[in-house]
Structure 1
Amino acid sequence: MSDSKLVRGTALLTAATFLSRLIGLIYVIPFTAIVGQLGNTLYGYGFIPYSVMLSMATLGVPMAVSKFVSKYRNIGDHKTGYQLLKYGMLFMFINGLIAFFILYFSAPTISNWIIEDPEALEGYTMEDIIFTIRMVSVALLIVPVMAIVRGYFQGHQSMGPTAVSQVIEQILRIAFILSATIVIYNVMGGELGTAVGFATLGAFVGALGGMGVLLIYWMKRRSMIMKEIKESTVIHSISLKEMYKEVIGYALPISFVGLAIPLFQLIDMFTVSNALTQSGFMSQDEADTFFAIFTQTAHKVVLIPMTLATAFSITLIPTITKSFVTSDQKALQQQITKTFKVILFFTIPAVVGLSILSYSAFGALFKLDDIDMGGMVLRYYAPIALFFSLFSISSAILQGINKQKYAVRALVCGLLVKFSLNYFLLHQFGPLGGVLATYLGFGVAIVITLLAISKYANYQYRLLIKQTRLILLFVGIMGVYVAVVSSYFQRLFPLETWMNTVIVLIAGVSVGGITYILFSVRFGLVRQILGDQYKNRFVKLKKQKEG
C-alpha cells in the first residue's frame, strides 16, 4: 500500500470510526436522561461480558484475515484469500453460536460474581442483570460472520465497506436502543431492567444492518473479485487445515490484544462494587453510579481522542506486513515514525484539554446531578486515551512484523498488574484507585511493546522523542491558556446550569484549539508531523477559490 493510499484509507476509517464514536457518545446523553446512571450500570453489566465474548468469538478475524489476504495478494495469489472467506464464514458462524450459548447460560453465574449482596440493590434486581446479559448475547449469532467479510475487504486495501457498514451498524443500534427504551420505559411504563435489557438487543439489530451493507458491496464487486481470482499468477495449494492454522496463528494474538479494554473493564465489573461498599467509601447506589461513569459515560468521552489510533491500527497491519515481507526496512521505519508522530500530535492536546475541561464537558453532555463525581472521574481518567492509543498502535506494529506474541505478553503483564492491584487500590483510595490501577496496567503493557518494537524492528526513538518534546511544550502553553480561560468563564458562568457548562466548554475548546494550531504552524511542528501535504492542500484550495 502506498503512503497516499495509507493516508486515504486511514482518513476514511478515521472519519467512520470518529462518526461511530460520536454517535455512540451522543446516544448516551438521551439514554442517561431516560434511565439515569443506574440504567448505565445495568447496561454495562450486560455489555462488558458481551464485549469479551465477542472478541473471543471473532478471534481478531478482521485484522487476521486482512493480513492473510494482503500477504497472498502481494505475491499474486488471489484465490487463497477467497477460499478463506468461503470456509471461514461457516467457521465464524459456529464460533458465534457457541459463544451465544456460553454467554446465555452463564448469565446467572456472572451476575452472582458481580453482586455479592443482592439485597443491597436499589432500582434493579439480579434477574434484571441476567435478562440484560441474555438479550445482548443474541448479537453473537451474526457479528463474527460480519467480521470476516470486513477483514476480506480490508485485505484488498478497500476500507470503504468496513467504514460504511460500521457507521450504519452504529446508527441502527442507537436508533433501536433509544426507541426501545422510550417505548418500554416512558410510554408503556415498564421496569428499568426490562427497558435496558431490550436496549442491549440493539447490538443485534445494528449487526443486521452492517451485514446488509457488506452484502451490497459484495454484489457490486463480485465480478471484479472473480476476475482477479482467475488472473492469479501464483496459486498455493493450501489445505483447509493449514489455512485455518495460519489465520488462527495471526488471529489469536490479535483477538487477545483486542480484548485489552474489555478485560480491564471486566476486572472493574467484578471488583468496583464490592470493594467500594465493603471498604465503606460508598453505598451500593454510589458505587453503581461510579461504575456507570467509569465504564460507560466518561469512558465514551475518553474513547473519542483514540479514534485515530483505532483507524491506524486497522490500516497499519497489512501495510507493515508488506514492508516486512518485502524487507523494505526504510519504508518500515518511516511508517512506524509517521504513525507515532500523528497519534501523539492529535491525542496529547485532546486528553490534556479534556482533563482541564472535565467538569464543564461532563456537565454539558450528561446530567448536572452527577457533575461532581463525573467531572472528577473524567479529569483523572481522560489521559488514559493516550495509553489506549499507544498500546493499540504498538500492538498493531508488532502484529505487522509477526511479533504479536510480545503484544500478548505485554497485555498479560498489564492485566496481572490491574488484577492484583485493583481491589487493593479501590479499597485504600476509593474510586480513583480503579483509575490508577488502569494506568499502571496499561503503562506496563506499553513499555513492553515499545521495547519489543525497538528490538525486532530495529527502531530508534530519538527523533520521535525530540519532536514529542515540542508537542509537549505547545500542549503545556495551550493548557495554561485553557485553564485561565476556563477559570475566568466559570466565575462568570458557574457550572450550575446546562447552558453555563456549554458556554465554558466552548470557550475552553476554542482557545485551546486555536492556541495549539497557531503555535504548531508558526514553529513548523505541523510540517514536521504531516509533511508538506497540508500546505499543498491549502494552496490548492486557495487557487480553486480564487479561480
Structure 2
Amino acid sequence: MENNSQEKMVSGTAWLSGANIVSRLLGAVYIIPWYAWMAPHSAEANALFSMGYNIYAFFILLSTVGIPAAISKEISRYHALDDEETANRLLRQVLLFMLLIGVVAAIVMYVFSPAMSYASGGGANLIPVMRSLSLSILFIPVVATIRGYFQGLNQMKAFAVSQIYEQIVRIIWMLTAVFMIMKVSSGYKDWVSAVTQSTTAAFIGVIASLIALVYYLVKEKRLFKIFDFTPGKTKISTGRLLKQTLITSIPFLVTGSAIQLFKLVDQMTFVNLMLKFTTYSQTQLNVFFAYFAANVDKITMIVIAIALTLGDVGLPLITAAYTKRKRKEMAGLVAYNFQLFAAFMIPAVIGMALLAKPLYTVFYGVPDSMQLNLFVLYIFQSIILTLPILIWIYMQAMQNSRSAMKYFLISFVAKLLLQVPSLYLFHVYGPFVSSSLALLLGTLVSIRRIRQISGYNPKNVWHKTLGILLITGVMGISVIVMNLILSLFLKSTGMITSFINVLISGGLGIYVYLFLSAKLGLLEKILGAQGTSIRRRLHI
C-alpha cells in the first residue's frame, strides 16, 4: 500500500510539476518581449507590475481563506471513509460560500486600492493596476475550490491543465495589449496603461481556467454527482460541515501566506524606509525593488512553485494515511517527500546559481554586480523559503495545525523584528538577510517537530541526500567546464548567445545528473517505476 501511495505521489507530482514548469516558464519567457517593449520604462514598469501582483496575491490568499487545501484534505478524508455523498455536499456549500467571498474581496480591493498604492510606494500609477486585478478576485475563490476538489481526489490532470490554460490565455492578452499600446500606437505610448492591461489579463486567464475545470467535471461525470442531494453516511448538519471546513482552512491560510506576507513586508517597508536611510530617490528605489522583488522573482518562482507541488500532492495522501491510522505508511510518505524535495531542489538551485549571469541576461540583459549578487542570493534562498512551508502542510495533514501556525508565527515575528535593522545595515540586501534568517529559524524548529509527530527515519533521508549532493557536485563541475569552453566561442553579452549557453550547459548538467542518478540506482529508489522509465528513455 505504501508503494502504491508513493506511485500516486510521483504521478501527481509529475502532472503538477509539468504544469508548473510550463506555466512558470511561460510566465518567465513572456518577460523578454514585455520588458523590451516597455523601454525606456522597463524597470519601473516591472516594479509597478510586481507591486500590484504582491497585493493581488495576498488578496487571493484572503479570498480563498485556505479553503483549497482544506477542501482537498476533507474530500480525501471523506472518500477514505467511503462517503462520497458527504464530500459532494461539502463542495456544494463551499462553492456558494466562496462565490460570496469573491464578491466581497473584489469590492474591498477595488475601494482600498488608493490607500494600498500609496502605502506601497507605487503612488497614483499603482491604483489602476490594482483595480484591474480586483476583477480576477471575483472568480478565483471558485476556481481554487474546484482545483482543491480535484486535488482531494488525487486527480491532478484537471488541476494541471487548468493552470496551463490560464497562463496561455493570460499571456496572449498581455503581450497583444502591450504591443498595441507601446509599439503600434503612434501617439498613445502610455506605459502605465500598458501595465494595467497586463494585469487585466489575469481576469481573462481566470475565466479560461474556470472553463477548463468545468469541462473536466463534465468529462469525469462528476458535475451531476456534485449536485446529487443523496444523504451521506456521515450525519452532520450543513452549517457544521461548512464550519468544520472553515476551521480546518485557517491554518492553511496562515501558513500558506508565508511567502506573500514576507514579500508584503518588503514592499511596505523598502521604499519608505530607504528614503530615510539613504539619499536615493523614489525612482531609484523602485528600480532597486524591481531588481530583488520583480526581476529575481520571475525566475526563482519557477523552482519554488515546482517544489511546493510536493505539498499539494502529498497533502491528500498523508491525510488518507493518517485517517486510516497507517502510521508506517504516513512516516514513509513524509520521508519520501523530503527525498523528492532534495532530489529536485539541490541540483536545480546549484545549476541556476552556476548559470546565473547568462540566465539573467536572457531575460533582462547583462546584469551589473548588484543585480547578479541579488539573483544568486535569492536562488539559494529558494530552499529555505519552500522547506518550512512543505513541513507546515504535512503537519496539518496529520492534525497538527497548531504546531504549524506556531512555527510560522515564530518565523514571521522574526522577519518583522529583523527588517528595520537589516535595511539600515545592508540596504538593498536587507530584505534577503531578514527573510533568510527568519526562515532558517522556522525551518530548524519545524524539522524537529515533524520528526516527532510523523515518526519518519531521518537517516534514510540524509543517506539519499548525501548521494544527491555528490551527484550534484559532479553535475556542477560539468556545467562549469562546459561554460568555460563555450565562453571561448560565445560571449554571453546578448540574449541569443546567453540562451545558447544556458541551453547547452544546463542541458549537459541535467543529463549528467540523471545519468549518474540512474547508474547509482538513486533514480529508481526515489521515483520507482517512473525512474525506470526515464532510465530506459535515456538508454542508460
TM-score normalized by the length of structure 1: 0.91
Structure 1 CA distance, aligned partners of 2:34 and 2:155?
Answer: 34
Name structure 2 gaps, 5 residues minimum.
none
Structure 2 CA distance for partners of 1:536 and 1:156, relative to 1, 3 Å: closer
Is the aligned partner of 1:108 residue 2:114? yes
Is the aligned partner of 1:215 residue 2:218? no
1:242-268 alpha-carbon deviations (Å, 9 max, x no partner): 112211122111122221111111011
More deviation, 463-472/304-313:
304-313
Structure 2 CA distance for partners of 1:485 and 1:199, relative to 1, 3 Å: same
Name structure 1 gaps, 5 residues minimum.
116-124
Query: Contact conserved, 1:54 with 1:140, CA < 8 A, in 2?
Result: yes
Q: Residue 24 of structure 1 is aligned with which of 12, 27, 30? A: 27
Structure 2 CA distance, aligned partners of 1:231 and 1:83?
Answer: 9
Is the aligned partner of 1:46 residue 2:49? no
More deviation, 167-176/460-469:
460-469
1:481-517 alpha-carbon deviations (Å, 9 max, x no partner): 4334434544553333333322432343134223333
Q: Which residue of 2 aligns with 1:298?
A: 296
Structure 2 CA distance, aligned partners of 1:224 and 1:14?
Answer: 26
Structure 2 CA distance, aligned partners of 1:162 and 1:100?
Answer: 24
1:349-395 alpha-carbon deviations (Å, 9 max, x no partner): 11011112111110022233x45443222111101222233123212
SS in structure 2 of the partner of residue 2 of structure 1: helix
How many residues are paired up? 532
Is the aligned partner of 1:470 residue 2:467? yes
Is the aligned partner of 1:161 residue 2:167? no
Is the aligned partner of 1:152 residue 2:149? yes
Query: Contact conserved, 1:78 with 1:229, CA < 8 A, in 2?
Result: no
Structure 2 CA distance for partners of 1:210 and 1:529, relative to 1, 3 Å: same
Q: Which residue of 2 aligns with 1:346?
A: 344
Query: What residue identity is the alignment partner of 1:247?
Result: T
Query: Contact conserved, 1:128 with 1:194, CA < 8 A, in 2?
Result: no
Query: Contact conserved, 2:291 with 2:371, CA < 8 A, in 1?
Result: yes
Structure 2 CA distance for partners of 1:434 and 1:245, relative to 1, 3 Å: same
Query: Contact conserved, 2:334 with 2:454, CA < 8 A, in 1?
Result: no
Structure 1 CA distance, aligned partners of 2:537 and 2:168?
Answer: 35
The ranges of structure 1 where at least 4 consecutive aligned residues each deviate by more than 4 angstroms after the TM superposition are: 227-232, 536-543
Q: Which residue of 2 aligns with 1:256?
A: 254
Q: Which residue of 2 aligns with 1:6?
A: 9
Structure 1 CA distance, aligned partners of 2:473 and 2:335?
Answer: 23
Q: Which residue of 2 aligns with 1:226?
A: 225
Query: What residue identity is the alignment partner of 1:353?
Result: G
Q: Which residue of 1 aligns with 2:363?
A: 365
Query: Contact conserved, 1:520 with 1:526, CA < 8 A, in 2?
Result: yes
> Could you tell me the percent identity over the aligned residues?
27
Structure 2 CA distance for partners of 1:228 and 1:533, relative to 1, 3 Å: farther
Structure 1 CA distance, aligned partners of 2:226 and 2:368?
Answer: 58
After TM superposition, give the deviation of residue 182 of structure 1 in Å: 1.8
Structure 2 CA distance, aligned partners of 1:69 and 1:435?
Answer: 38
Q: Which residue of 2 aligns with 1:118?
A: none
After TM superposition, give the deviation of residue 24 of structure 1 in Å: 0.9
- Residues 266-285 of structure 1: matches in 2 within 5 Å? 266-280=264-278, 282-285=280-283
Q: Which residue of 2 aligns with 1:447?
A: 444
Structure 2 CA distance, aligned partners of 1:34 and 1:374?
Answer: 21
1:161-187 alpha-carbon deviations (Å, 9 max, x no partner): 211111111111111121222222333
Q: Which residue of 1 aligns with 2:82?
A: 76
Structure 1 CA distance, aligned partners of 2:325 and 2:466?
Answer: 31
Q: Residue 426 of structure 1 is aligned with which of 400, 423, 442? A: 423
TM-score normalized by the length of structure 2: 0.92
Structure 2 CA distance, aligned partners of 1:290 and 1:358?
Answer: 18
Query: What residue identity is the alignment partner of 2:21?
Result: F
Query: What residue identity is the alignment partner of 1:265?
Result: K
More deviation, 194-203/527-536:
527-536
Structure 2 CA distance, aligned partners of 1:483 and 1:223?
Answer: 51
Query: What residue identity is the alignment partner of 1:476?
Result: G
